Structure 1
Amino acid sequence: MVATSRRLDTSNFQERAADGIRQMIITGELEPGQPLSEVSLAETFGISRTPIREALKQLQIEGLVEIRPRVGTFVAVPTRRELNELFEMKQLLEGGAARLMAARGEVPELTAMKENIREADAAVAAGDVERYGELVHEFHEILVAGADNGKLAAHYRLLMNQLAYRRLVKTSLARPGRSLESEREHHTVLELIIAKDGIGAENFMRRHVQASHQALMSQLDT
């Protein structure tokens, strides 16, 4: 029983560390390419190095961390090809989510999406890019939840983690005029979903993701 309890404790510590480090990467607190010290992370989370080491291995599988033998462990830096491939998958998943949500009619997520867009309109009008970036992330989360498809949501969550999407949103919105363009695109997606035009919603959502991708890449090239 004691051995089993220790294994459970180690597993819980590993899960807590993985969740914490993942959030630090996604939010940008840990930047791409930044070295990760097992000792420092162990001190941060108040646990031993063993669960930290296992957590980093888990995050390597998720594509968030790169472990280089005899060199060190680093926050992963996606290549341009990887970013392009991830956004291609984002188009497919979010396009499919828009189609599925449109087929569901009046669901709670539709109400949430309308409220999200009302708040986003106000943020854009006020020039509050920081708040608008948060609402962009929320919009896409609502869309995926509205699809009511657990498998799609699971794949989407892994994809968003690999993209560290919240950080990338800030980069793409830094392009002049992109916030206003993005909000107009969100309005169109909502209108198509309300109209129960699944095919139209899917196609336009893909175009919206492509536009965000292009805005991001243009900022990375500057």
Structure 2
Amino acid sequence: MNQPTPFPGDVTTGRRGSRAALSGAAAKRVERPAPLRQAVYEALIDLIVNRTLQPGQHLVEVELAEYLGVSRQPVREALQRLQTEGWVDLRPAQGAFVHMPTEEEADQLLSVRAVLETHSARLAAERAEEADVDHLWELQARGQAAVEVNDIDGVVAANAALHAFVTKLSGNTVLAEMIGMVDRRVRWYYTPIAGRRGADSWIEHADLIRAISAKDVELAGTIMTQHTDRTRQAYHDRPRGDRA
């Protein structure tokens, strides 16, 4: 007579008891993907990153739901997720507020970013081909054009695109994943200083592209270190009026 297949994890005669215990417990199903919940979460992060929702701002569920054209439930779920990730603070009896980053938080993240992107630039200098360098110059031109017309959103987007392409050129998947984890928060910190960094930032980008084109690994790393450190310092030196 065939024996019943052992229940996973059971190594003693208690297997039937374990099966019975699960049968009697409340069902806990694996949830299917929730596109609407994810879309609301992504939309709220974008609003926070581009500073449409300012640090310290009170977030009212019904207002956000109306703005996004959804019910309050996915907004409430998204706010809870954002709270666990440090984008939102949920205060008892007060509600949800956009997190107000401290100087120390910003310094820690931008310092980590500098280490990661310096390594990325060095690897990019080793691997970049002529077509890659041409694309970097295209992104450079896009950023400079945005600076000239004071298009802050365009500057931030072009800056992120150029750095992301340098990361792609590194060919290191783990490095790319780690940089991707901090990218949104870096853009959050960069937005209020993008105008002041202005042309200087893109002069530094041009120097970086030249180093990558020349396959000068050491120079590419040095330029990226200096570039990211100047961005970090600019964040700390921003006018008091820009500190939410």
- TM-score w.r.t. structure 2 length? 0.76
Instruction: Write the distance in 2 (CA, Å) between the matches of 1:41 and 1:129.
Output: 26
Mapping 1:146-161, distance limit 5 Å: 146-161=169-184
**1:219 aligns to what SS in structure 2?**
coil
Aligned positions, number: 214
Could you give the per-residue CA deviations for residues 55-84 of structure 1, whole angstroms, max 9, x where no partner exists?
112222332111223321111111000011
Deviation at 1:112, TM superposition (A): 1.6
**2:90 aligns to what SS in structure 1?**
strand
Aligned with 1:189 (options 204, 208, 233): 208
Q: Which moved more, 1:49-58 or 1:88-97?
A: 49-58
Mapping 1:1-222, distance limit 5 Å: 8=32, 11-106=34-129, 108-124=131-147, 126=148, 128=150, 130=152, 131-163=154-186, 165=187, 168-175=189-196, 178-221=197-240
CA RMSD of aligned residues (A): 2.8
Paired AA for residue 47 in structure 1:
V
Instruction: Write the distance in 2 (CA, Å) between the matches of 1:214 and 1:137.
Output: 18
Instruction: Write the distance in 2 (CA, Å) between the matches of 1:122 and 1:184.
Output: 13
Asked if 2 retains the 8 angstrom alpha-carbon contact of 1:129 and 1:179, the reply is no
Asked if 1 retains the 8 angstrom alpha-carbon contact of 2:60 and 2:96, the reply is yes
Paired AA for residue 121 in structure 2:
A
5+ residue gaps, structure 1, are 1-6
Instruction: Write the distance in 1 (CA, Å) between the matches of 2:32 and 2:131.
Output: 37
Instruction: Write the distance in 2 (CA, Å) between the matches of 1:27 and 1:58.
Output: 19
Quick one: structure 1 residues 129 and 216, their matched pair in 2 at CA, closer, same or farther if it must change by over 3 Å? farther
Q: Which moved more, 1:52-61 or 1:89-98?
A: 52-61
- TM-score w.r.t. structure 1 length? 0.82
Quick one: structure 1 residues 117 and 161, their matched pair in 2 at CA, closer, same or farther if it must change by over 3 Å? closer
Q: Which moved more, 1:85-94 or 1:198-207?
A: 198-207
Paired AA for residue 207 in structure 2:
T
Paired AA for residue 169 in structure 1:
Y
Asked if 1 retains the 8 angstrom alpha-carbon contact of 2:56 and 2:97, the reply is yes
Quick one: structure 1 residues 120 and 16, their matched pair in 2 at CA, closer, same or farther if it must change by over 3 Å? closer
Could you give the per-residue CA deviations for residues 115-161 of structure 1, whole angstroms, max 9, x where no partner exists?
1223444555x454534444223222222222233332332233122
Instruction: Write the distance in 2 (CA, Å) between the matches of 1:40 and 1:120.
Output: 34
Asked if 1 retains the 8 angstrom alpha-carbon contact of 2:40 and 2:74, the reply is yes
Aligned residue number for residue 4 of structure 1? none
Asked if 2 retains the 8 angstrom alpha-carbon contact of 1:64 and 1:161, the reply is no
Quick one: structure 1 residues 207 and 93, their matched pair in 2 at CA, closer, same or farther if it must change by over 3 Å? same
**1:77 aligns to what SS in structure 2?**
coil
5+ residue gaps, structure 2, are 1-30
